[in-house]
Amino acid sequence: MYDVIIIGGGPAGLNAAMLLGRSRRKVVVFDSGKPRNRWAASMNGFLSSDGMSPLEFIKKGREELQRYNIELLDKLVVTATYSKGSFVVNDADGAVYRSKKLLLATGLKDKLPEIEGIEAFYGKSVHHCQYCDGWENRDKAIAVYGKNRDGIGQALSLKTWSDRVTLYTDGTDKLRRIDRERLQRNDVKVCTIRITGLKGENGMLQQILLANGEAHEQQALFFSSASVQQCDLGEQLGCEFTSKGIIKTRRQQNTHIPGLYVAGDADRDMQLVIVAAAEGAKAGVAINIELQKEECK
Ligand SMILES: Cc1cc2nc3c(=O)[nH]c(=O)nc-3n(C[C@H](O)[C@H](O)[C@H](O)COP(=O)(O)OP(=O)(O)OC[C@H]3O[C@@H](n4cnc5c(N)ncnc54)[C@H](O)[C@@H]3O)c2cc1C
């Protein structure tokens, strides 16, 4: 029996493991090797590691955990249940693990816009978060992708980073007069023509190709789209979700299920590496305190 099983070895799970390892807890971390930002060349906005490769960051984190009593298993967890005060977890090979507490740090995955060939640009010149990649694209010609009215907020926000922002609604024309006037007042151009493809080299965008045969010179494309849970373990365990599919947690990353915690992008808060790591640390401390209370005679 482990003290704690952590599912997800991204920034949230690894930082939780560190706090729990330092609290002399017996911990196992499962990870299926798909951190959300693995597409990106650099991880930005994390003090002391600004610009580091995301995979290098994970590698360094795993190395730092070697000095504690933590098992790192590169395995996918397929089922998780809670029964009579303990958690039972099955990996994809059918092995069974038990723990007193469980932390889900399984993150989210993103839905890319449906543009042919976009994967080749993702993380290099196609981005979804201006706080992660706005600085690197400052003063560039920036396209914002959003069907209907979805891209308005992001297009206006990106004016903080560049004067050259164009909103592409990809064949939809649902902007209201008030939206168009606001975009125009803020010098955001609008293109409603359907996008047929992207052109560039080595993942760096050069042109947006349109159904009317035009090609617009653009150097970066930002999009905001729905992201979904990377796995269904939260659902299996009976977690509560927001209308946007995010797991509801309380102040110490705990859920309404006793002993079950959630940290990182999978639960509510800003979706940044440093926030995920901080939530992991919070969960680690809270779990240790809960175990201490149970052990105290
Ligand atoms: C393209 C891109 C670029 C980004 N750039 C930045 C940036 O520059 N700066 C920044 O602060 N943020 C950035 N982000 C956001 C950042 O990636 C997330 O905020 C952060 O990764 C969240 O950490 P996490 O630990 O919650 O989840 P993740 O990093 O997604 O880690 C979750 C882990 O859980 C594992 N997992 C999931 N389900 C299971 C399962 N059933 N069994 C076993 N393992 C499982 C996954 O394989 C994964 O390794 C970016 C995101 C994207 C998509």
Percent of the chain beyond pLDDT 70? Answer: 100
Q: Is 234 in the pocket of ligand 1 (CB under 6 A)?
A: no
Q: Is 230 in the pocket of ligand 1 (CB under 6 A)?
A: yes
CA distance 97 to 57: 28
H/E stretch holding 3 = strand 2-7
pLDDT digits (tens, 9 = 90+) for 233-288: 999 999 999 998 999 999 999 999 999 999 999 998 889 999 999 999 999 999 99
Q: Is 39 in the pocket of ligand 1 (CB under 6 A)?
A: yes
pLDDT digits (tens, 9 = 90+) for 6-47: 999 999 999 999 999 999 999 999 999 999 999 999 999 999
Distance (angstroms) between ligand 1 centre and the Cα of 107 equals 5
208 pLDDT band (50/70/90 cuts)? very high
Extract the tokens encoding 264: 């990182």
| Strand pairing class (2-7; 96-104) | parallel
In the prediction, which pLDDT does 84 show? Answer: 82
pLDDT digits (tens, 9 = 90+) for 97-119: 999 999 999 999 999 999 999 99
Mean pLDDT for the stretch of residues 53-75: 97
CA distance 8 to 35: 9
Of 230, 229, 286, 235, the residue nearest 261 (C-alpha):
286
Q: What is the pTM of this model?
A: 0.95
Of 112, 34, 35, 20, the residue nearest 68 (C-alpha):
20
In the prediction, which pLDDT does 190 show? Answer: 98
Average pLDDT, the chain: 96
In the prediction, which pLDDT does 226 show? Answer: 79
| CB 20 within 8 Å of CB 4 | yes
Q: Which stretches of the chain are assigned E, i.e. beta strand?
A: 2-7, 27-30, 70-73, 77-83, 86-91, 96-104, 108-110, 126-127, 142-145, 165-168, 188-191, 195-201, 204-210, 215-217, 220-223, 227-229, 260-262
Q: Is 72 in the pocket of ligand 1 (CB under 6 A)?
A: no
Distance (angstroms) between ligand 1 centre and the Cα of 265 equals 7
In the prediction, which pLDDT does 168 show? Answer: 98
Which domains does the chain possess? Answer: 2-110+226-295 (3.50.50.60), 118-223 (3.50.50.60)
Q: Is 123 in the pocket of ligand 1 (CB under 6 A)?
A: yes
Residue 218 pLDDT > 90: yes
CA distance 189 to 155: 9
Distance (angstroms) between ligand 1 centre and the Cα of 293 equals 32
Distance (angstroms) between ligand 1 centre and the Cα of 178 equals 37
The amino acid at 154: Q
Residue owning tokens 């947690």:
249
For 272, other C-beta atoms within 10 Å of its C-beta total 19
CA distance 108 to 199: 28
